[in-house]
Amino acid sequence: MALLLQLVVPLSVCAQEGDARFTVELIEDASLQGTPDTGLLLKEALPILWDRIVPVAQRRLADTLGSDSSMVARIVPGREVTVIEFQGERVFAALREANIAAIVTPPRFHLLLSVRNAAGQEMRQTTQLLEEDSSRLAPAHGIELSDDGAGLVVAWRWLDSQRVELSVRGQSRLAEFVETREITDADSLPVLQDWLDEVLLKARDAYAYDALALSSTQGAEGGVSEFTIELIVQRSGNLLEQVALEESLGHDPRVRSLTPIRLGHDMQRYRVQLEGGDTSWLGEWFARRGYRMDRLADGSWVIQ
């Protein structure tokens, strides 16, 4: 059963416990020795954090944010490495206040790379080097590479001695595309590495949440007492499961009303009014029932 939520989830939907993006390791530096200076540590660590959770288009805006120590969960000094753990909820709240978009949930991709020459033969060594490079780039960009992730196929093929065609396809939110570039460098590997870096960032940023969207969907009056979302349930379960889900959600004290718009055999549509305009609890609510919330390319959210 898949649930499609056409709503905007605020950035206070914090990272899942164990989200590695919020742990930053700083290698020992002369400026960081002695008693830990939180301000100095934040100055060093925040750019690394922003690189993981803020899309490229708004990355510079993140650098304008102040170093708020309340975002830090703890600091663990070490002889060679100092570890800073951030509080995901407070980090997202700071981004929301500044109207800066963020990738709330780390995208997970099953990355498949291929490089072929003009004759169509696999350039195995180049492909292997790019695979090794992706293992380094992914964590730096807040991306998880896993066999159970969304398929992302990135394939290059030389058309002649200089022109290279790139095709990107798969099941991620990144729209499939094909493009051609000329590579005149004697060593083409650095160019392909930079190209791969661009693709990974585009694929990651397709999962970004626009912080500005929340304010535009709320009521025009100053105080928001309720918030309306549209809930689309696509299901293959039985009627009892449908009713149980309706009753469980409808009886939650944070739900003012649950109104059916359309009830079909394999699809139900509801209008849900929430108290106080807060949707931050929905992700956890569905997670406890075995669902995961992800954003679709059209701006809606899928829970599956």
What pLDDT does residue 127 have? 96
The full DSSP string for 78-109 is -SSEEEEEE-HHHHHHHHHHTT--B--S--EE
What pLDDT does residue 235 have? 60
CB 141 within 8 A of CB 52: yes
Whether the per-residue pLDDT at 198 is higher than 70: the answer is: yes
CB 103 within 8 A of CB 207: yes
Residue percentage of the chain with pLDDT more than 90: 37
* Half-sphere exposure in the Cβ direction for 189 (13 Å, CA): 12
Q: Write out the residue limits of the CATH 3.30.70 domain(s) in the chain.
A: 217-303
Q: What is the pTM of this model?
A: 0.65
Cβ-proximal residues to 239 (8 Å cutoff; 6+ apart), any chain = none
Burial status of residue 132 (CB atoms within 10 A of its CB: 0-12, 13-18, 19 or more): exposed
**Confidence class for position 110, pLDDT limits 50, 70, 90:** very high
At the second CATH level, the architecture of 108-205 is: 2-Layer Sandwich (3.30)
What CATH number does domain 217-303 carry, 3.30.70, 3.30.1360, 3.30.460, 1.25.40? 3.30.70
Pairing mode of beta strands 2-6, 226-234? antiparallel
CA–CA gap between residue 158 and residue 191 (Å, rounded): 13
Whether the per-residue pLDDT at 216 is higher than 60: the answer is: no
- Give CA separation, 181 vs 89, 109, 140, 158, 163, in Å: 41, 25, 26, 10, 6
**Confidence class for position 48, pLDDT limits 50, 70, 90:** very high
275 vs 73, more confident: 73
Residue 266 burial (CB count, 10 A): 10
Average pLDDT, the chain: 78
What pLDDT does residue 132 have? 96
Strand, helix or coil for residue 175: coil
